[in-house]
Amino acid sequence: MSKVYDRVMKCLECVRARTDFVPKVALVLGSGLGDYGKEIRVEQTLSYHDIEGFPVSTVPGHHGQFIFGYVGEVPVVCMQGRVHYYEGYSMEDVVLPVRLMKMMGAEIFFLTNAAGGVNETYNAGDFMMITDQISQFVPSPLVGPNPEEFGTRFPDMSEIYDEKLRDVLREAAGELNITLHEGTYVQTSGPNFESPAEINFLRTIGADAVGMSTAVEAIAANHMGMRICGISFIANPAAGLSDNPLTHEEVQAAADAASARFKKLVTVAIKKMGNEN
Ligand code: HPA
């Protein structure tokens, strides 16, 4: 048994000692979007602290618990708070939660994040469906001995974000009259925001939104064969595109202001995912 697999299975044992809930959708809530938990018919919560060996986030505004429950009739496990590479965690730690949620039974991985708008047509407060990603500025979470139990050594990444789930997100946004951009997300290491020159560079290589999470989690999920979708909340124009310096407080305030629309979008989308198999 590989070391990584063994570690995930030990976490799974801790979870299974407390709940036998089997989720269909695994949802990750990004910065400032953590209060989505209130939209869930909660069956049970489980603090990350209660899972032996589980990485616990240090970022203000990130809670640290799994919520098990239902959105409509769809069983969901929701991560209220994720851990980031910039906190000093290894990539193995960063992707442990998604591996664990897959072992709980989740088939669909729904990522959300707060991001900077690199695309000059985006405004703060917009949403972007992630259609592809650039992760080359951070180490791959698959570096190291390959945990064969999860997937193959050299996994294909030509369609990380599932075509059918993209249709689901488009439909949900359409029904709610919410504009949903479609674009490429780039993950930087953080914790510093980017310089204007870096943002110009990222735009030149094809990025539309930039953030400090998500892409590596999507790689680990794709490695395991999960179906993936993602939405970036555009919290601010990226560096150089506005006169104001960037702050984490601004990101959180923007996310709070958009949270009602965001919640509706996620709820309608998840209900539709109930029909996906
Ligand atoms: N850059 C990187 N990450 C972010 C940003 C940004 O401008 N906004 C929110 N997360």
CA of 192 to the centre of ligand 1 (A): 9
At 63 the pLDDT is 64
Domains of the chain: 3-273 (3.40.50.1580)
What is the end-to-end Cα distance of the chain in Å, rounded?
A: 30
Decide if 177 is catalytic. Answer: no
Could you tell me the two tokens for 245? 């310096």
Pick the residue whose CA is nearest to atom 2 on ligand 1: 211
Write out the two tokens for 244. 């104001």
Tell me if 68 sits within 8 A of 44, measured CB to CB: yes
Please report the pLDDT score of residue 59 as a whole number.
62
Instruction: Give pLDDT, residue 239.
Output: 84
197 part of the active site: no
Are the C-beta atoms of residues 112 and 33 closer than 8 Å to each other? yes
232 CA → ligand 1 middle, Å: 10
Q: Per the residue annotation, which of 5, 70, 86, 89 is the catalytic one?
A: 86
Q: What pLDDT was estimated at residue 240?
A: 83
Determine the residue of 123, 193, 242 to mutate for testing ligand 1's pocket, defined as the one with the most ligand atoms within 8 A of the Cβ atom: 193
Distance 33 CA to ligand 1 centre (A): 14
Calculate how far, in angstroms, residue 231's C-alpha sits from the geometric centre of ligand 1: 14
The catalytically annotated residue of 248, 253, 257, 276 is: 248
Q: In the structure, how many helices (H) and strands (E) does the chain have?
A: 6, 9
Please, what are the averages of pLDDT over each run of 10 residues along the chain (277 residues)?
A: 94 96 95 78 94 78 83 95 91 97 98 96 95 98 97 97 98 96 97 96 98 97 98 92 81 81 94 88
Residue with CA closest to ligand 1 atom 6: 116
**Phi–psi pair at 124, nearest 5 degrees:** -60, 135
Give the global pTM: 0.95
